[in-house]
Amino acid sequence: MSAVPSALRAPRVLQRMMKRNHGLLVAVATFVAVVLLLSLKLPNGFSYYDLTSTANSATALALAAIGETIVIIAGGLDLSAGAVISLANCLIAAHVTATPASMALWTFLGLSAGAAVGAFNGFLIVFLRLQPVIVTLATMFIVEGLTLLILEQPGGAVPPDYSAALTGDAIAGALPMSAVFLAAAIAIWFLMRATPFGTYLYAAGSDREAARAKGVPVRTVQFAVYVLAGVFYAAAGVFLTAQTGSGDPTVGPPMLLPIFVAVVLGGTSFAGGRGGCVGTVFGALTLMLIVNLLLVFNVPTYYASTVEGALLIAAVLSGSLGRGAPVWNHVGALRLKWAAWRDTGAPSAPRKATSPKATTARAVRDDDTLPAGGLARWVTRNAPTLRFVAPAYGALLLILVFTALLFGARTTPSTYFNSLLVLSSFMAVLALGQGAVVISGGLDLSMPAVITFAGILLTAWADASNSAALWAVPAVVVVGGLIGALNGLGIVLFGMFPLIMTLAMDGVIAGFSLVYSNGTPSGVAPPAIAWLMTGRLWGMTPVVFAFALFVAAATILVSHTAYGRRLKAVGASRTAAFFSGVPVDATLVRTYALSGGCSAIVGVMLVGFSGQAFNDMGEPYLLPAIAVVVIGGTLMTGGRGHFLGLLGGALLLTALTTVLTGLLLPVAMKSVIFGLVIVLAVLGLKERSA
Amino acid sequence: MTMSGIMKSVGLASLLAAGALTATAADAADKKYKVFLSMSYVGNDWQAEAQNMVTAMAKANSDKVDLQIQVSGPVAQKQIQQINAMVQAGANAIIVYPISPTALNPAIKNACDHGVVVFAYDSSVTEPCAYNVVTDQTKLATLSAEWVAKAMNHKGNLIFVTGVPGTSVDTDRNKAAHAVFAKYPDIKIVAEPNGMWSQAVARKGLTEAMATRKWEDIQGVWGATACIQSWSLEIESGLKTLIPCGAEGTNGMRVMMLPKGAAEGAGGTYVPMGAPGVSLESHPGAGALALKLALDVLEGKKVDKLTTMPLDVVTNDNIKLCKEGSFEELKGGCNTFDPGLVPSGWFSVIYNPATPEVGFKAALVGQPD
């Protein structure tokens, strides 16, 4: 280094800075590009009015997204963000009066509520070592329920002074208060980053074990992160309260996905350890300006979600097409293959060693150190799997006993179990797809749109026709698989994060559904499909028998095939898998294709179940599918999972919602109980080390 | 289909480019009112029909209005941003399907301050400067609950299906219906599954509720999106006499209410079978009427701040199949469409004496009568 002439050093420093702040630079560049594009199209250019209104609408989103960014940098994930926004919003709107003391008190209590939810999350995740996704999902249900108990419908009034103080102009005509808030939030972030806590945050997020070995108080840092994030979500709720002058229990939860988008547009990596909050603020601003773009270019309503999805992919891609992008490795590999083929006249056949290796591994397991007895031997051999599969069945058994005690007198076991199995069948099929993706270390958020699209295509292609269904059902499943494969290709070729690739794909496909159906899906279910889901065969709904076959096939696929072993290897460590000769990329693409295919099958099943297709029919299934996967013992970080665990999760969740529907409780209470039971159910899944 | 989908998205780039041209063309042809429709959500049949009806109304007034429709997605901040952008784009009037009755107030107030006429439809907004065109949800729930209570002879077990929790519409409806059923001590609400105003979710909720009950023990079902699915489940369970139900407004429900043989069915349970029901729904034509009234306001006419949509109570006594569904025919009292023409989840609430521009074609393809 010292040999480098000083004249060359400056650019290198600049280069390093550029590289270190790559994400932030892309976020700012995207924002500037959007503003320029808008300025070109707007007759009056981008005025102070545009700036203030954008800053105002983006502030709540940006504050919440800052909280989420901190959690993600620390290597976590928080699904309760949207719910906490509404909690703070309703808590304040329902109680605040016009005195300054009351305003200060309720603002403080609103922020404290956020901190309390964060502490609850942090306690379960850090000290009880539960997985962040399932903990924060359960918290989301609990907090949504509590919010409804505070304010059952939109209402409440906030004194005008409160709104004026938080959302007016700081300097009339020059600086809106919202910009001051954003600047303050960024200042807090910079201060924090300058302290040891800031360093620990990144250290804990990039490599937890290494950080611990270096003496970083990882647990304390992670706990603090969730509390801090809760405060930021609540701050978003406070600003929202001032901005809207009222409370609305439904306003927060839909913000969750936009929060993720703002984080990604801001250049923060979902892998943890990289990113920052300044980019997030620009991400939130960009997201708001997309609304203006759609208006200025007069994008038709049914195309809006497709365009948003495409813009999201474009924005993320533009930041990742540098020299290091995986796509160039693929191009390089192809070139090598081409050269080899040209030289030898035929492609070489590498890596045929995997299957014999697998058989030897199996032979070794059959050794004499295991107990001699059949059952004891089986238990010992499968102990690790049993440990993560059993909790779901244990909880299921408890709920079944509870159901029998409560409702046993007024129903017959055959009716109950038939309903349970029919409703679980949707969840189990989705759980195979989502479960495989999660085992591979990813997440598939495109499920709702694929389910809907498949349903719409089926009723359009095979309207009340069994003969058309013969080709339409396979065709629809292939379409779902292709959409999934596209997800996989985006992830493999361009290094996109699964969460963002599949979220964007969801938007794109949702737009296709609207355009294809022109808003109103046509046709009814083919009679055979309707019979499968609602008819009778030997006293049961026919799908129950198909379900049994599916369970057998899925169990074999996940646990007893080369694909299943590769899947777990890829999820445990892509690098290790690659050097062990596992075709990592092909396995990933296949996994996402499997997930798309499973979603499409559920689309077909739902059409049979409700008689026709609806544009909103896939939406309710995403979060339950993720919950099933985690309750079933799958590790969110990848590498571990068994289909029988997923099946247990599907049965447990269905039995739980069934018993809650049977009880005559308000929706709010049901939501709280649902969340609490999930937490209790996964307590058995405690990880050995956090 | 994926191919045509891909083709469509490729076509989008050219569409964006074309947008640049049309905008300048519209500037030249002035004298027209610039009206924006801000929708929060487009993903269901009701919204699709509402959008079609507004489009038809704009076409019927194409000499006066230049309509542009945008969707913000179900996030309040984005709709706020959208309304602000519409004001900035020089809107004369903005028609809003509000994501929240309260959260948009500052944006609406700001629009009014800029001289923009703001109409909210279906759900009302509380900002006083806005005009509201709404369905009286309390009346809707009271009328339908009274009908169901009477059909049950004021006694027996009732399944009460709820909608999207936390919304004013759901809370208003549930309160009103609960008040009605509470009047009759012999009516017992035995389950409250959550239907989320979605057929697929209602079907799931009803299946869960019936996992621990028998249809033989149920005498009535009430709630939005409750009827098609409960009747279908009853048929599948082998129940001989269908249970009285209120109060969705889908064509599927109304076809099931038609006497046997009144029309050729379209498969499954989308068949006339004389099912006992009362059909009522929020009027999807509220947006079209809002546009018409907004033009009145812009032309200096006096318009009430609150307009209530008509509530036509359709029961087995007055259910009537339409031939073509023209406004004149609807005026004559027909209220149901042939199963071959529209899907079962399509809403057949179309008629409103105040909007002769809007008939069956308007709801289906956005063409005025």
User: Using CB atoms within 10 A of its CB, is residue B304 exposed (0-12), middle (13-18) or buried (19+)?
Assistant: exposed
The confidence score (pLDDT) of residue B14 equals 43
Is the pLDDT reported for residue B24 higher than 50? no
Q: Tokens 């102009």 label which residue?
A: A169
Assigned token pair, B303: 């318009």
**pLDDT digits 0-9 by tens, A436-464:** 999 988 889 999 999 999 999 999 998 88
Distance set, CA B204 to CA A424, B201, B209, B233 (Å): 11, 5, 9, 11
In-domain check, residue A463? yes
* Span B44-83, pLDDT tens digits: 889 989 999 999 999 999 999 999 999 888 888 899 999 9
> Would you call B245 helix, strand, or coil by DSSP?
strand
For residue A494, being part of any structural domain is answered with yes
Read off the pLDDT of residues B124-165 as tens digits, 9 standing for 90 and up: 899 999 999 999 999 999 999 999 999 999 999 999 999 888
Secondary structure class of B101 (helix, strand, coil):
coil
Q: Which two tokens stand for residue B212?
A: 């621990």
- Assess whether A193 and A55 both reside in one domain: yes
Selection from B332, B282, B336, B337 nearest residue B310 by Cα: B282
Q: Using 50, 70 and 90 to split pLDDT, how confident is the model at A210?
A: confident
Query: Closest residue of A to B231, CA-based?
Result: A610
Distance of CA A58 to the CA centre of its chain: 22
User: Which of A298, A318, A348 delimits the end of a domain?
Assistant: A298
Residue A623 has pLDDT above 60, yes or no: yes
For A523-557, how does the pLDDT look when each residue is reduced to its tens digit (9 = 90+)?
A: 888 989 989 998 888 888 898 899 999 999 999 98
Q: Do B5 and A515 touch (CB under 8 A)?
A: yes
- What's the confidence (pLDDT) of residue A352? 46
- Which amino acid is residue A485, in one-letter code? A
The Cα–Cα gap between A492 and B62 comes to 50
Determine the Cα–Cα distance for residues A320 and A249; give it in Å rounded to an integer: 38
Of the pLDDT bands very low, low, confident and very high (cuts 50, 70, 90), residue A483 is very high
Q: Inform me whether the C-beta atom of residue A535 falls under 8 Å from chain B C-beta atoms.
A: yes
All domains of chain B in start order, with CATH: 30-135+283-310+354-369 (3.40.50.2300), 137-279 (3.40.50.2300)
A293, A431: one domain: no
The pLDDT score that the predictor gives to residue A351 is: 47
Any domain includes A280: yes
Chain B residues touching A251 at Cβ < 8 A: 76, 99-100, 103
At A165-207, the pLDDT tens digits run 787 777 777 788 888 889 999 999 999 999 999 888 898 888 8
Both structure tokens of A519: 């808003």
Nearest to A519 among B51, B78, B193 (CB): B51
- A328 versus B302: the higher-pLDDT residue is B302
pLDDT tens digit sequence for A397-438: 988 988 888 887 777 888 888 889 999 999 999 999 999 999
Please determine, for residue B4, whether its predicted confidence score (pLDDT) is greater than 50.
no
The A residues from 234 to 253 touching B (CB cutoff 8 Å) are 240, 243-251
Q: Please report residues of A whose CB lies closer than 8 A to that of B190.
A: 664
Strand pairing of A169-171 and A175-176? antiparallel
Q: CATH code at A255?
A: 1.10.3470
Of A651, A668, A684, the position where a domain reaches its end is: A651
Q: Which chain A residue has the Cα nearest residue B9?
A: A306
Q: What is the pLDDT of residue A6?
A: 52
For residue A257, what is the nearest residue in chain B, using CA coordinates? B75
Specify the higher pLDDT residue, A32 or A366. Answer: A32
Which of A288, A403, A612 lies at the smallest CB-CB distance from B343?
Answer: A612
Residue A688 pLDDT: 55
User: Angle of helix A466-494 relative to helix A326-344, nearest 10 degrees?
Assistant: 100
pLDDT band at residue A368, thresholds of 50, 70 and 90? low
Residue at a domain's end among A265, A298, A331: A298
- Answer yes or no: is A209 within a domain: yes
Question: Is pLDDT above 60 for B5?
Answer: no
The mean-pLDDT minimum among A139-153, A673-687, B283-297 falls in A673-687
**String of b and e for A112-132 (b: at least 16 CB within 10 Å)?**
bbbbbbbbbbbebbbeeebbb
Residue count (chain A)? 690
Chain B residue closest to A241 (CA)?
B103
Burial of A499-529, coded b for 16+ CB within 10 Å and e otherwise, reads bbbbbbbbbbbbbbbbbbbebbbbbbbbbbb
Answer yes or no: is pLDDT of A322 > 60.
no
- The values of phi and psi at residue A285, to 5°, are -65, -45
pLDDT of residue A372: 66
Share of chain A above pLDDT 70, in %: 91
Whether residue B23 has pLDDT greater than 70: no
pLDDT at A654: 92
* Chain B neighbors of A519, CB-CB under 8 A: 42, 45, 47-49, 51-52
Does any domain span residue A545? Answer: yes
Q: Which among A174, A184, A282, A172 is positioned nearest to A238, based on CA atoms?
A: A184
The pLDDT, as a whole number, for residue A370 is 60
Helix (H) or strand (E) holding B120: strand B117-122
A540 occurs within a structural domain: yes
Reported ipTM: the value is 0.86
From chain A, the residues in CB contact with B5 under 8 A are: 512, 515-516
Asked if the model's pLDDT at residue A365 lies above 70, the reply is no
- Least Cα separation, residue B140 to chain A (angstroms): 18
Task: Please name the residues in contact with A192: beta carbons below 8 A apart, sequence gap of 6 or more.
Answer: A198, A201
Strand partners, B220: B158
The answer, yes or no, to whether residue A344 has pLDDT greater than 90, is: no
Which range has the worst mean pLDDT, A183-197, A638-652, B6-20, B289-303? B6-20
CA distance A477 to A116: 45
pLDDT at A329 over 80: no
B-proximal residues of A, 473-502, CB under 8 Å: 479, 482-483
A302 vs B198: CB contact, 8 Å cut-off? no
pLDDT at position B11 is 41
d(CA A271, CA A254): 24
Tell me how close the Cα of B299 comes to any Cα of chain A, in angstroms: 25
Structure tokens at A23: 């994400």
Please tell me the least confidently modeled range out of A120-134, A629-643, A664-678, B252-266. Answer: A629-643
- pLDDT at B303 > cutoff 90: yes
Q: What is the pLDDT of residue B113?
A: 93
Mean pLDDT of the A3-17 span:
61
C-alpha distance from A598 to closest chain B C-alpha (Å):
17
Q: Does A611 touch chain B (CB under 8 A)?
A: yes
Nearest to A514 among B43, B164, B345 (CB): B43
Alpha-carbon distance values, A14 to A19, A273, B301 (Å): 8, 22, 65
Peptide bond between residue B247 and the one before it cis (omega within 30 degrees of 0): yes
Number of structural domains chain A divides into: 2
- What are the DSSP calls for A200-240, one per residue? HHHHHHH-HHHHHHTT--HHHHHHHHHHHHHHHHHHHHHHH
Domain-embedded: residue A40: no
Report if residue A572 sits inside a domain.
yes
- Average pLDDT of every residue of chain B: 87
Looking at the complex, report in whole angstroms how far the Cα of residue A316 sits from the nearest Cα belonging to chain B.
19
Total count of residues recorded for chain B: 369
pLDDT of residue A98: 86
Q: Which two tokens stand for residue A101?
A: 């003391």
Sign of the alpha-carbon dihedral angle for B322, B324, B325, B331: negative
Range of the domain at A142: 47-298
In the block, tokens 């969340």 appear at A675
How do residues B86-138 score in pLDDT, each as one tens digit?
998 889 999 999 988 888 988 999 999 999 999 999 988 999 999 999 999 99
CA A635, CA A632: separation in Å to the nearest integer? 9
Residues contacting residue B334 through CB under 8 Å, at least 6 positions apart: B320, B321, B322, B323, B325
Would you call B326 helix, strand, or coil by DSSP?
coil
Exposed / middle / buried, residue A538 (Cβ in 10 Å: 0-12, 13-18, 19+): exposed
A234-276: per-residue pLDDT in tens?
999 999 998 888 899 988 898 998 999 899 888 888 888 888 8
The DSSP secondary-structure symbol of A609 reads H
Residue of A nearest to B47 (CA): A519
CB A137 within 8 A of CB A626: yes
Mean pLDDT of A285-303: 87
- For residue A325, the one-letter residue type is A
